[in-house]
Each structure stands twice: as C-alpha cells, then as structure tokens.
Amino acid sequence: MKTVAICIDKENGLSFYGKRTSKDREIRKRLLEMADTLAVDSYTAGQFEHEEAKKLDIMDDPAGIKEGTAFLELQDIPDDADRIILFRWPKKYPSDRFLTFRFSGWRKISKEEFPGFSHEKILMEIYERKN
C-alpha cells in the first residue's frame, strides 16, 4: 500500500516560492509513529531532528515509491496513492502552489484534531480509495 502524507493550509495552499508554508514537530512525531520508514526528499529531511532522521529514506522523488509512506511538501498527491494522510493548518499562509488533487473516488476513514507545537490545533484526515 502506498500512503502519501501532505500538509496544506485552510485554503489548500502547499508552498510559497518553493518553500513549505509551515511545519510542526507534532506532525513529524505522528508520521514517525505511523510509518516504519518515511520516504522524503532532502528538503523535507531538513526539518527532522537527528534521532528522527534514522527512520527517513531520503530520495530525489519520494512520490515515486511503490509502497510505504511518503511525506510530500512541495508537490501534489500522486495518482497512484492508495491512502492519504492530510494535515490541515488552521489558517491561511501565503501560497503560490495549491493542492489540486480531487477526492472523488476516495472515502474519509478518520478525522482528528490535535494540538500542535507551533499551531493551536491541526486537523488530520485519513482517506482511502473506494473499492
């Protein structure tokens, strides 16, 4: 199963001038708890602490994995994903790149709000393809 994790703001903003809109260590913690290994690019790897980095598989194109979990920050969700972990920031950030992925053919299997470290609350939604 290929799982993709992605963070967006409340208006689906992904990035601004090639940089992430925001980050939060509570998201990193949750992702590392959910995945045995996390596929990331070198830009994304830079936000992880040394101990956390031991669970990272750093590669040029983490969206290209066939199975496992990829954490994508600067690109949309690939069409071949089987599961999506969507983290949503509770406010709007300056963005010039937006999530364009359409969730038709997907079902939400869970929704949870949790406190972040640098955000009062973060919304996590998990989606799976409909059979």
Query: Is residue 100 in a domain?
Result: yes
Q: What's the predicted TM-score (pTM) here?
A: 0.94
Asked which of 66, 88, 118 is the last residue of a domain, the reply is 66
CA distance 12 to 93: 10
State the total domains in the chain: 2
- Tens digits of residue pLDDT in 64-87: 999 999 999 989 999 999 999 999
In the chain, pLDDT over 90 holds for what percent of residues? 86
Looking at the fold, whether 115 and 96 belong to one and the same domain comes out as yes
Looking at the fold, whether 60 and 82 belong to one and the same domain comes out as no
Query: Is residue 111 in a domain?
Result: yes
Instruction: Note the pLDDT of residue 131.
Output: 78
Looking at the fold, whether 83 and 45 belong to one and the same domain comes out as no
Instruction: Note the pLDDT of residue 35.
Output: 94
Question: For residue 45, what are the domain limits?
Answer: 35-66
CA distance 105 to 48: 33
Query: Is residue 23 in a domain?
Result: no
